[in-house]
Structure 1
Amino acid sequence: MAFEVLGNGVLWRGDDHGQRHHRRGRGRGGLPLVRGLSPRPASAALPGRRRPRRPRGDRRRRRADAARAGVPAVGLRGSGAAGPVRVGPGRAHRGHGALPAAVRRPEGDDAGAGPSQLPDLGSLPPEYGAYEFDHYLYAAGPTAKVANIYPRDFVRAVGEGQRANGNDRPLSLVRAAWAGSQRHGALIWSGDVHSTWDDLRAQIAAGIHMGVAGIPWFTTDIGGFTGGWVDDPAFRELLVRWFQFGAFSPVMRLHGDRRPQQPVATAAGEYRLESGADNEVWSYGPEIEETFVSYIRLREALRPYTRALMAEAHEHGTPVMRGLFYEFPDDACCWQVGDQFLFGADVLVAPVLEPGATERDVYLPVGATWTDARTGEEFDGGQTVRAAAPLASIPVFARTPEALALLGELAGVAE
């Protein structure tokens, strides 16, 4: 078995293991499926060294093995497509090796995949088991000095490898990042958050903070990842409100492990495992589907505006999702508002964040005239207004005629 070293010291399995899995994993119509890589505490065997058999969970023996081998005690284990991946010492800056099979651009029958399509995505950071950070060792230095650099270098490995193999637009969906991750195509999601109103509220601060930290691409699991029961009316209300928020996030993405779980069988009909319940836009009844479709259409209508925001972020580092203070730093009230945000400079979004709410207060910053995108009513800035918010509606205000025109899909929704 061959291993290859990337420029950042990550060892990748160099045979066609991932390529074969990639071909088998193509979906209907030839569309590529997305696979993930999950780093986690692992036995740190070097290439060519046989890993001794031992009971799983014996962390002390794993660390002892790692210390004797002189390698880090943190490794990466692929999800089937990549094979084993290890963070190794030395050789960390001796040039760029070949890309791991899991993230190579497809060849042969798969050669039609263009640069705009998603590569295999890496998911970070270690997720399973007890965290013992004091025992984590890195080739670059002790945990206290270099641990936060790890997620950046992990996504750099994927980004550099993608570019070296002809994809000049790499994209990695990751749950951890550090300063500079955005240079390597990092799209950050907020992790496996719970299906609660508190978690929905937290997404606003998370998105704003991510933007001012220099990472404009941010997304969440619409509806939360865990805890949502598809037939629960309370969850359905939360899901609709989260979907509305998602329509004005940098990246709109519906995802979650819904309940009750469903059994999954093999082709032979044998029980294999359980998986989450259906989570498509049509999975929650015709009324909710109609609402979801209206916001998908709105997102498509906003495409020119969104593309301009992404270009601005790429060229100048300007956040896509902005706190009110970003555009109105002289308005003291804007520094206190934490439940609204700006989608770009010209669209103010006020998500509904309380169960059962059908209206909410919205602060409109000083220095602009704001138009309710749903009713066409104009308001001077520097005041708080009471905005209607029935379940199918989210309060959104525009400060330019161009932005208002793009928000036409919202017209009449508040009535």
Structure 2
Amino acid sequence: IGGFYDAYSEGARKLFWDQLNEKLYSKGIDAWWMDASEPDILSNASMQYRKELMTPTALGPSVEYFNAYALVNAQGIYEGQRSTNPNNRVFLLTRSGFAGLQRYSTATWSGDIGTRWEDMKAQISAGLNFAMSGIPYWTMDIGGFCVEKRYENAKEGSEDMKEWRELNARWFQFGAFCPLFRSHGQYPYREIYNIAPEGHPAYNSMVHYTKLRYQMMPYIYSLAGMTYFNDYTIMRALVMDFGKDAATHNISDQYMFGPNLMVCPVYQYKAISRDVYFPAGTNWYNYDTGEYVTGGKSIKVSAPYERMPLFVQEGSILPMGNDIQTTKEAQTDLTIKVYTGKNGEFTLYEDEGVNYNYENGAYSTIKFSYDEASQQLTVDDIKGEYAGMAKDRILKVEWITKGKKNTISEVKYSGKKISVKRAE
């Protein structure tokens, strides 16, 4: 019981931060994994008994304020770190949360979930419900945390080992399109090379989606900018963007990742296809094959072991970078994928990536607009600036058009408005 403090007390929060600062932050630790922030006063005890153990708090009775513990705990760390070093971005990962958690630079994960296919499926709707509740940064333990004994004891070549590898491959595919992409759990070890040997389909798939995640960082970071500046959320139930289509109202196993990508995880063992609903009012391209699908219908789509069905909305503009190893590497030269068929636009957001200068306007945006009638992409003047921003860059515009081979136009961009005609 003595391991938890009264986070509702301003003085206690300050003391807690002072201890973190003295023992950890001052020694170079600058990100926080806050486990047990329910608080987990006594594991597996009833909620009522936990509340009785916790009462009273500085704010009032725990029967009223218990659920907000993770919020005020995060507040203490966020305010403490920013008061100590105002320029160093705070990052917290916390096992529990409460409304408003995002204001303290905090993400929540879904706790010690199991390693069954139904657990993976449940995480899809869990993430969507978090997003719709107003908390944009949610994550999960890819592969599940609490492992079934049959997986712990699986031998090479056994059916259990085959299933363990496929489960992780499919879960990894889904995880690559969550706000935070992270794998974590009890034994067996979760490094890609410990899950499957090089060349195995599971290994190949996990490497592919890791690289794709980094290539998509210009798009994903722009979504983060939209989240901060425009109250956006990255992971989006279909009803959020296609609410006029009643068929989207109860779909819980596919979703939008930003405005452009529709993600359709596979959550059944040995499945190599799944049913996908394509919202009406727009048409879609298969990201991997380029196949064009008209909206307003449900069809069975191919889902080979190494690939998850991923679709791009017609009219999308998708900025892509290189296969980098860390986000510290600059994404200067970009590939701009333009999915033709209707007008579209997307705004690229960039800043220094490590500090809070963006709060004072130190960031840049570049608006991309596609006009279907003229078959032309316009890249507007860059707006804003920040230290170290790219002055000159090469843009490879990749044109994806129904029934035609992809073509590429390469242009130089120096911050001034340019227009690019679709290459034939």
Scaled to the shorter chain, the TM-score interval is 0.5 to 0.7
From the superposition, tell whether residues 103 and 216 of structure 1 become closer, same or farther in structure 2 (CA, over 3 Å): farther
Q: Helix, strand or coil for the counterpart of 1:282?
A: helix
User: Amino acid of the residue matched to residue 191 of structure 2?
Assistant: E
The alignment of Structure 1 onto Structure 2 pairs a total of residues equal to 302
1:248-267 alignment runs, 5 A limit: 248-258=177-187
Q: Deviations over 1:256-303 (max 9, x none)?
A: 102xxxxxxxxxxxxxxxxxx322111122212222111101001110
User: Amino acid of the residue matched to residue 210 of structure 1?
Assistant: F
Deviates more, 1:221-230 or 1:200-209: 221-230
Identity of aligned residues (%): 30
Cα drift, residue 161 of structure 1: 0.8
User: Amino acid of the residue matched to residue 119 of structure 1?
Assistant: A
Matches of 1:129 and 1:349 in 2, distance apart?
35
Matches of 1:401 and 1:214 in 2, distance apart?
25
Cα drift, residue 317 of structure 1: 2.1
User: Amino acid of the residue matched to residue 391 of structure 1?
Assistant: Y
Matches of 2:336 and 2:308 in 1, distance apart?
12
Corresponding residue for residue 403 of structure 1: 318
Matches of 1:330 and 1:303 in 2, distance apart?
30
User: Amino acid of the residue matched to residue 282 of structure 1?
Assistant: Y
Corresponding residue for residue 68 of structure 2: 149
From the superposition, tell whether residues 364 and 331 of structure 1 become closer, same or farther in structure 2 (CA, over 3 Å): same
Matches of 2:70 and 2:118 in 1, distance apart?
27
1:62-101 alignment runs, 5 A limit: 75-76=3-4, 86-87=5-6, 92=10, 99-101=17-19
Corresponding residue for residue 121 of structure 1: 33
From the superposition, tell whether residues 383 and 142 of structure 1 become closer, same or farther in structure 2 (CA, over 3 Å): same
Cα drift, residue 139 of structure 1: 2.5
**Displacement over 6 Å in runs of 4+:** 404-408
From the superposition, tell whether residues 88 and 383 of structure 1 become closer, same or farther in structure 2 (CA, over 3 Å): closer
Corresponding residue for residue 349 of structure 2: none
Q: Helix, strand or coil for the counterpart of 2:125?
A: helix
Q: Helix, strand or coil for the counterpart of 2:268?
A: coil
2:152 maps to 1:240: no
2:303 maps to 1:389: yes
From the superposition, tell whether residues 197 and 88 of structure 1 become closer, same or farther in structure 2 (CA, over 3 Å): closer
Corresponding residue for residue 197 of structure 2: 285
Match of 1:371 among 240, 260, 285: 285
Alignment gaps of 5+ in structure 1: 1-41, 44-74, 77-85, 259-276
Matches of 1:95 and 1:344 in 2, distance apart?
36
Contact conserved, 1:302 with 1:407, CA < 8 A, in 2?
A: no
Q: Helix, strand or coil for the counterpart of 1:100?
A: helix
TM, length-normalised to structure 1? 0.68
Matches of 1:278 and 1:95 in 2, distance apart?
36
1:13-32 alignment runs, 5 A limit: none
Q: Helix, strand or coil for the counterpart of 2:127?
A: helix
Q: RMSD value over aligned CA atoms?
A: 2.5
Cα drift, residue 101 of structure 1: 3.1
Contact conserved, 2:13 with 2:73, CA < 8 A, in 1?
A: no
1:18-57 alignment runs, 5 A limit: 42-43=1-2
1:268-283 alignment runs, 5 A limit: 277-283=188-194
Alignment gaps of 5+ in structure 2: 155-160, 321-334, 338-399, 401-424
Cα drift, residue 379 of structure 1: 1.1
2:140 maps to 1:220: yes
TM, length-normalised to structure 2? 0.66
Match of 1:343 among 257, 275, 290: 257
Contact conserved, 2:39 with 2:70, CA < 8 A, in 1?
A: no
Cα drift, residue 88 of structure 1: 7.2
Cα drift, residue 374 of structure 1: 1.3
Matches of 2:215 and 2:51 in 1, distance apart?
50
Cα drift, residue 144 of structure 1: 2.7
2:113 maps to 1:193: yes
Matches of 2:336 and 2:144 in 1, distance apart?
26
Q: Helix, strand or coil for the counterpart of 1:257?
A: coil
Corresponding residue for residue 160 of structure 1: 79
Matches of 2:32 and 2:13 in 1, distance apart?
23
Q: Helix, strand or coil for the counterpart of 2:31?
A: coil
Q: Deviations over 1:93-112 (max 9, x none)?
A: 799568323246744xx5xx
